[in-house]
Amino acid sequence: MIRRTVAALLGATLFLGLLAEVQRLDEIAIEREVLQLDARQ
């Protein structure tokens, strides 16, 4: 039972970490697009 709980916690932590990373990459991509638009003007 303890093993199952630990596995679930590890899985949740990895999943949340992955989500945070994807969100961060999205923000970087948006910033890049904004910078490109600024450069064009």
The whole-number average pLDDT for the span 8-14 is: 98
Residues whose CB falls within 8 Å of the CB of residue 3, separated by 6 or more in sequence, listed in order:
none
Does residue 8 carry a pLDDT above 90? yes
12-39 per-position pLDDT tens digit? 999 999 999 999 999 999 999 999 999 9
The rounded distance, in Å, linking the Cα atoms of 25 and 13 is: 18
Number of domains in the chain: 1
DSSP string spanning 5-19?
Answer: HHHHHHHHHHHHHHH
Domain that holds residue 12: 1-41
